[in-house]
Amino acid sequence: MTTAPAPLRGIISYPVTPFAADTGDVDLAALRRLVGELADAGSHAIAPLGSAGESAYLTESEWDAVCETTLQTVAGRLPTLVGVSHWSTAETVRRARVAARHGATALMVLPQTYWKLTEAELEQHFATVAAATDLPVMLYNNPGTSGVDLRPDTVVALARKIPNLTMVKESSGDVARFRALRDRSDGTLSVYNGNNPVALEAFRSGAVGWCTAAPCLVPRWCTELYAAATRGDDARADAVLAQLLPLLKFIVGHGLPRAVKAGLEIQGRAAGRPRPPLLPLPDEETRQLRELLERLGGAEALEVGAAGAV
């Protein structure tokens, strides 16, 4: 089996979208800071406007501003993966073209639906969006948020019909799917993990990247997990994951926009409140999050861990 080169690999970091505390408007200055921090902290790619970025709650002009600001801030230093999903095919196409115009490396498309789509409708949607630019496309399977579960056979069938659909972000949590996607596509699909708690299992099952908002809070722990996994240092990878897993489970379980923004506030890097109907993380959960972050201890604890005392 010949594996196609992956357009992206490693830690693909998803910034939240900051909102101003007083007006609730998108805070582009805070976004520039956060994106710059993610780039400087060792991320291998930056992925704005995913679920953590509250893209579903942005107006069209806000979406455009976040896309442009993020890509300008990255300025070609790293690859970029822009989430272009929308309820309608027409708006998804428009977003894809905006992202391409501003220099995106690749596009991510979630089947964001209200009505349950048929296989023919899904195929038409993905094919139309993919044809709007010449950028590689990542199909995003997240049944927990979209209500649509794109199983490996369906994904592979779509990829065979859509030439630039070359990647899939698998977020169901079913680790067996990583290998199934690679095997059934004869290695032509690059597979990425989008389910934080199974990050290490995913790498060991052939995922080439981890799509995650966790680097907003603990970037060096994430890059260290990837480094240990890719060099085959099982003991180190297991030790890092053991420390990181409670935080990963917490931020997923409490909703990424709520939890990550609360964590940024704890760290003195405020990104505002999530946008209604989302509410801020409650006080008791914020206390728990503070304890988790303190337990990890930031960069110092990671350096100690590298010496064998994680």
Smallest Cα–Cα separation from 155: which of 134, 182, 173? 182
pLDDT at site 203: 97
Task: Confirm whether 279 is domain-assigned.
Answer: no
Task: Confirm whether 1 is domain-assigned.
Answer: no
Task: Confirm whether 257 is domain-assigned.
Answer: no
Instruction: Report whether pLDDT(6) > 90.
Output: no
pLDDT at site 299: 47
pLDDT at site 310: 43
Instruction: Report whether pLDDT(303) > 70.
Output: no
Arithmetic mean of pLDDT, 245-274: 97
pLDDT at site 9: 96
Per-residue confidence band for 5, with pLDDT thresholds at 50, 70 and 90: low
Summarised one tens digit per residue, pLDDT across range 160-177 is 999 999 999 999 999 999
pLDDT at site 2: 44
Domain that holds residue 92: 10-232
Summarised one tens digit per residue, pLDDT across range 66-85 is 999 999 999 999 999 999 99
∠ CA 275-13-75, nearest 5°, is 100
Instruction: Report whether pLDDT(267) > 50.
Output: yes
Count of alpha carbons within 13 Å of 93, Cβ hemisphere only? 11
Instruction: Report whether pLDDT(155) > 70.
Output: yes
Sign of CA dihedral 117, 136, 8, 4: positive
Instruction: Report whether pLDDT(308) > 60.
Output: no
List, by residue number, the catalytic residues.
140, 169
Task: Confirm whether 285 is domain-assigned.
Answer: no
Summarised one tens digit per residue, pLDDT across range 86-124 is 999 999 999 999 999 999 999 999 987 777 888 899 999
pLDDT at site 113: 75
Share of the chain above pLDDT 70, in %: 94
Per-residue confidence band for 304, with pLDDT thresholds at 50, 70 and 90: very low
Contact 82, 59 (CB under 8 A): no
DSSP code at position 147: S
The whole-angstrom separation of Cα 114 and Cα 95 is 19
Task: Confirm whether 226 is domain-assigned.
Answer: yes
CATH number of the domain bearing residue 226: 3.20.20.70
Instruction: Report whether pLDDT(309) > 90.
Output: no
Arithmetic mean of pLDDT, 27-39: 98
Q: What are phi and psi of 231, to 5 degrees?
A: -90, 0
Task: Confirm whether 251 is domain-assigned.
Answer: no
Task: Confirm whether 111 is domain-assigned.
Answer: yes
Report how far apart, in Å, the C-alpha atoms of 251 and of each of 33, 243, 258, 281, 286 are.
21, 14, 8, 10, 11
Task: Confirm whether 49 is domain-assigned.
Answer: yes
Q: How many structural domains is the chain composed of? A: 1
Instruction: Report whether pLDDT(4) > 60.
Output: no
